Amino acid sequence: MNQPRRIAEVLNQPAGEVPPPRHVAIIMDGNGRWARARGLPRTVGHNYGAEAVRQAVKGAAQCGVDYLTLFGFSSENWKRPAAEIDDLMGLLKLYLNREIDELHQNGVRLKVIGDRERLGADVVRLIEAAEGRTAGNSRLVLTVALSYGARAEIVLAARRLLQAAERGEVSPGELDETAFESFLLTAGMPDPDLLIRTSGEKRISNFLLWQCAYAEFVFLDKHWPDFGIDDLQAAIAEYQGRSRRYGAAQ
């Protein structure tokens, strides 16, 4: 999306008519700590976290959000113990097998961004099948970041840009932010208006660094498995109470 136009739309919004955020991004943090606090294995926390994903998707649709992007597995998460990674990939495959029918029936389009080369071939096949099946849906675009790192994404975009320039498709003198965004993994999506992070941490951990330049941040103390629709609604209400000026005078 053309970012200057999006900013103009927000600045020109009539007083008292603040719409819900068009794009909400969430860093789903705290599954392991939630489980540890209960004396349970980390894998149990991930399983309960999957239910919180369902709540987030349902709540986003109810609140009129058009795009929901979830940070599911970072490029740094590959450093975790192999057994935990295997459990996470197994949970992902279970989700893709069990949830796609419901997502499709509810008009949700699924997209996955990240480095698929590090994912197993069986996982990639399930992702591609789910993306293909839901490609025509438009009620909500659910993007899941898997094996994703924002710095790596920006480097990839720069590499794609250089390759396009070598083919004569891009002129350096005509390059601007909008043109660069077309090479990002999120090309065609509006930037997040609201970024939510659970578990009390107050950082964005290499997530959508370019895209979140003007996002509003809401940090929640509760762990991800405890996240529900009411938490999403409260975060959106807080967002609607803020003044977004994009550097302009109030």
Residue 219 lies in a domain: yes
201-214 pLDDT tens trace: 999 999 999 999 99
203 touches 219 (CB < 8 A): no
Residue 101 lies in a domain: yes
Binding residues: 29-34, 42, 46, 74-76, 78, 80, 197, 203-205, 216
Query: Could you tell me the pLDDT band of residue 1, with boundaries at 50, 70 and 90?
Result: very low
Rounded alpha-carbon distances, angstroms, from residue 117 to 39, 75, 146: 35, 12, 11
Q: Report, as an integer, the average pLDDT of 144-173.
A: 94
Query: Could you tell me the pLDDT band of residue 172, with boundaries at 50, 70 and 90?
Result: confident
Residue 210 lies in a domain: yes
Residue 249 has pLDDT above 60, yes or no: no
CATH of the domain at 42: 3.40.1180.10
Binding residues for substrate: 30-34, 42, 46, 74-76, 78, 80, 197, 203-205
Q: What SS3 class is residue 120?
A: coil
- Range with the poorest average pLDDT among 3-12, 21-30, 42-51: 3-12
Q: How many domains does the chain have?
A: 1
Q: Report, as an integer, the average pLDDT of 214-235.
A: 97
What global pTM score does this model have?
0.89
User: Token pair of 78, please?
Assistant: 């590959």
Domain coverage including residue 68? 21-240
- What CA–CA distance (Å, rounded) separates 165 from 149? 24
Query: Could you tell me the pLDDT band of residue 15, with boundaries at 50, 70 and 90?
Result: very low
60 touches 134 (CB < 8 A): no
Annotated catalytic residue: which of 47, 77, 106, 137? 77
33-79 pLDDT tens trace: 999 999 999 989 999 999 999 999 999 999 999 999 999 999 999 99
**Which one-letter DSSP state was computed for residue 199?**
T
